[in-house]
């Protein structure tokens, strides 16, 4: 199924027939397929909504650069279209960013949520690295440089800068999604944390380098009703690395 909002078509699937609805929010570069095992294991007792964020899976790309705010807005529009209330959310990485903003926008909307490897807090070292990349790119992207080096020369240097400083997500993105990514990673969502009313379970990989453990620890402190579970010897995709453990915890927490 597709939902159209602001000229963008967002693909989503609904499975299960339970009274309680669970919204699955995937990470950057993922799609609804990222949640297939979770969807399979929750739909026996829950109504599961599994979506492709715009720019991923079967959804179309945004028609202009989007920040997390626009991703929140289209997700809220879909929630309203489906008349969902007292949601449960399971979110990974970028999906966690959207979940944080959903909670802030409508504190009573979410009843429970599981956030794993949730992004949204600014790492000053990473931010400085990103700013350095942007500054170097702009340094070479000017009229004088293009006259001296030619268009191909400038692009070669800019690509080298991106290769040195850029993340895999950035390198693999289309031009539009690169612009979106730049906006997304600059948004500090720490102000969302105190506004969260939902019971929140944080599941983190101890060796996560994309969203380091300190982020989960800070979220546990600043969200009113939160608990953190750390999966040892796991990285950013802890939910897949120890899936049996993950889904057992999720089922117990959500009463599935």
Tokens linked to 75: 């997700």
Q: Which helix (H) or strand (E) holds 25?
A: strand 21-25
- pLDDT value at residue 18: 86
- Report field, pTM of the whole predicted structure over 0.75: yes
The 10s digit of each residue's pLDDT in 101-138 is 999 999 999 999 999 999 999 976 544 444 444 444 44
- Cβ atoms within 10 A of the Cβ of 111, count? 16
Domain boundaries, the chain: 2-121+188-254, 124-181
Q: Where are the extended beta strands (E) located within 53-209?
A: 87-92, 110-116, 199-205
pLDDT value at position 172? 75
Token readout for 107 is 């504190």
Return the CA Rg of the chain. 19
Please determine, for residue 179, whether its predicted confidence score (pLDDT) is greater than 50. yes
The model's pLDDT over 195-240, given as tens digits with 9 standing for 90+, comes to 999 999 999 999 999 999 999 999 999 999 999 999 999 999 999 9
Question: What is the predicted pLDDT for the residue at 155?
Answer: 59
CATH of 2-121+188-254 given 3.40.50.150, 3.40.50.1820, 3.40.50.720, 2.40.30.10 = 3.40.50.1820
Phi-psi region of 214 (alpha: psi -120 to 50; beta: other; left: phi over 0): alpha
CA pair distance 230, 128, nearest whole angstrom: 28
CB 200 within 8 A of CB 120: no
Higher pLDDT, 141 or 5: 5
Q: Are 59 and 11 in contact (CB under 8 A)?
A: yes
In this structure, are residues 31 and 52 in contact, taking their beta carbons and an 8 Å threshold? yes
User: What is the side-by-side strand order in the sheet with 110-116?
Assistant: 2-5, 8-15, 47-51, 21-25, 87-92, 110-116, 199-205, 226-231
Tell the residue number behind the tokens 């690295």, with chain if given.
129
Structure tokens at 45: 């007792």
- CA distances, 187 to each of 94, 135, 143 (Å): 11, 18, 31
Q: Which residue is it, tokens 């929750």?
A: 42
- Look at residue 222 in the predicted model and tell me its pLDDT: 98
Sign of CA dihedral 138, 129, 217, 233: positive
Residue 26, exposed/middle/buried by CB under 10 A (0-12, 13-18, 19+)? buried
Among 191, 212, 43, 192, CA closest to 106:
192
């Amino acid at each position: 199924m597709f939902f159209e909002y602001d000229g963008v078509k967002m693909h989503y699937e609904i499975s299960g027939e339970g009274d309680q609805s669970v919204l699955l929010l995937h990470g950057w570069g993922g799609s609804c397929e990222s949640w297939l095992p979770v969807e399979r294991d929750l739909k026996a007792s829950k109504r599961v909504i599994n979506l492709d964020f715009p720019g991923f899976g079967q959804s179309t790309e945004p028609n202009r650069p989007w920040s997390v705010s626009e991703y929140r807005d289209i997700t809220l529009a879909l929630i309203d279209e489906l008349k969902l209330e007292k949601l449960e959310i399971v979110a990974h990485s970028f999906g966690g960013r959207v979940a944080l903003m959903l909670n802030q926008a409508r504190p009573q909307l979410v009843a429970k949520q599981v956030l794993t490897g949730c992004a949204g807090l600014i790492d000053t070292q990473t931010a400085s690295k990103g700013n350095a990349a942007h500054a170097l790119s702009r340094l070479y992207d000017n009229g004088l440089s293009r006259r001296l080096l030619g268009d191909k020369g400038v692009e070669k240097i800019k690509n080298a800068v991106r290769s040195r400083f850029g993340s895999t997500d950035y390198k693999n993105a289309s031009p539009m999604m690169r612009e979106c990514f730049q906006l997304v990673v600059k948004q500090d969502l720490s102000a969302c944390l105190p506004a969260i009313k939902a019971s929140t379970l944080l599941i983190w990989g101890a060796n996560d380098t994309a969203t380091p453990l300190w982020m989960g620890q800070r979220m546990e402190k600043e969200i009113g009703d939160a608990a953190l579970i750390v999966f040892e010897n796991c990285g950013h995709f802890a939910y897949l690395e120890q899936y049996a453990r993950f889904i057992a915890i999720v089922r117990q927490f959500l009463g599935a």
